[in-house]
Amino acid sequence: MAKKDVAAKKASAAFAARPDLDAATARKPVKSSSPISKSINDVVAAVNTTYTNYLKALTPRLKLIDSFLVFLVALGVLQFVYVLLVGNFPFNAFLGGFISCVGQFVLTVSLRMQYALATQSEESKGEDSPFPTITPERALGDFVFASLVLHFIVFHFIN
């Protein structure tokens, strides 16, 4: 189950500080038994289909991006746990580190979206992409630019 959660999260290409959210979503149905068993099944099925679809759409590049995302989430969670356990003494540093994770995460997710959709629309030409003007190359360029800005500020912030 837990494995599946991670996968689902990965698949959905989302989110930052709350890996427990997906886990909770999926786990809850298991606990609560009688009244809404149909919806439980639905949720489980939804997660399943999403996961299979995700696997289907995966290309090596996307896989690379996704593993980077997982790494970022892990890093963010690690820092958060550290703060909870040890305390947030150099608050600047913690904030810089944490936000750099979150920031890099959303940037990468954006890149992934643009990239995935751009390649998708290339395959099926007729469909109008949500990013009409953005080619995969441009997406990468933008991503690098924004990341540089982000890390410059973080570097300035942590002193």
Partner 1 sequence: MTPSNGLHVETVRVLLRVVIFLSIAGAAISLRLFSVIRFESIIHEFDPWFNYRATKYLVLHSFYEFLNWFDERTWYPLGRVTGGTLYPGLMVTSGAIWHVMREWLRLPVDIRNICVLLAPAFSGVTAVFTYLLTKEMKDGSAGLLAALFMGIAPGYISRSVAGSYDNEAIAITLLMATFYLWIKAMKVGSIFYGALTALSYFYMVSAWGGYVFITNLIPLHVFVLLLMGRYSPRLYTAYTTWYALGTLASMQIPFVGFLPIRSNDHMAGLGVFGLIQLVALGAYVRSNVPSAQFKSFFAVSIVLVVSLGVLGLFALTAAGWIAPWTGRFYSLWDTNYAKIHIPIIASVSEHQPTPWPAIFFDTNMLAWLFPVGLYYCFQELRDEHLFIIIYGLFSAYFAGVMVRLILTLTPVMCVAGAIALSKLFDAYMDITDLFKSSGSAQASSAADSSSETEKKSSKRSSSKKGFPLFQLLTKAIVLSSFVYYLAYFVMHCTWVTSNAYSSPSVVLPSRNPDGSPAIIDDYREAYYWLRMNTPEDAKVMAWWDYGYQIGGMADRTTLVDNNTWNNTHIATVGKAMASSEEVSYEILKQHDVDYVLVIFGGILGYSGDDINKFLWMVRIAEGIWPNEVRERDFFTDKGEYKVDSEATEAMRNSLMYKMSYYRFTDMHNGREAVDRVRSQVIPSDRKITLDTVEEAYTTQNWIVRIYKVKDLDNLGRDLQSAGKSERQESAAALGKRTRNAKKPDLDLRV
Using CB under 8 A, list all residues that contact partner 1.
11-16, 21, 24-25, 28-29, 36, 38-39, 42-43, 45-47, 49-50, 53-54, 91, 95-96, 99-100, 102-103, 106-107, 109-111, 113-114, 117, 130-131, 133-134, 138-139, 141-143, 145-146, 149-150, 153-154, 156-157
Question: Least distance (Å) from partner 1 to the CB of residue 29?
Answer: 8
How far apart, in Å, do the first and last CA atoms of the chain sit? 42
Answer whether 119's CB lies under 8 Å from 136's CB.
yes
Question: Least distance (Å) from partner 1 to the CB of residue 78?
Answer: 19
Nearer to partner 1, 38 or 125 (CB): 38
Question: Least distance (Å) from partner 1 to the CB of residue 63?
Answer: 16
Alpha helices in the chain, H assignment, sequence order: 2-12, 19-31, 37-57, 60-86, 91-123, 136-157
Nearer to partner 1, 79 or 103 (CB): 103
CA–chain centroid gap for 62, Å, is: 12
Place of tokens 């709350």: 18
- Report CA torsion sign: 75, 79, 84, 85: positive
Nearer to partner 1, 6 or 146 (CB): 146
Question: Least distance (Å) from partner 1 to the CB of residue 85?
Answer: 17
Nearer to partner 1, 75 or 134 (CB): 134
DSSP structural state of residue 128: P
Q: How far apart are CA 121 and CA 36, in angstroms?
A: 39
Nearer to partner 1, 49 or 67 (CB): 49
Question: Least distance (Å) from partner 1 to the CB of residue 125?
Answer: 19
Residue type, 23: A
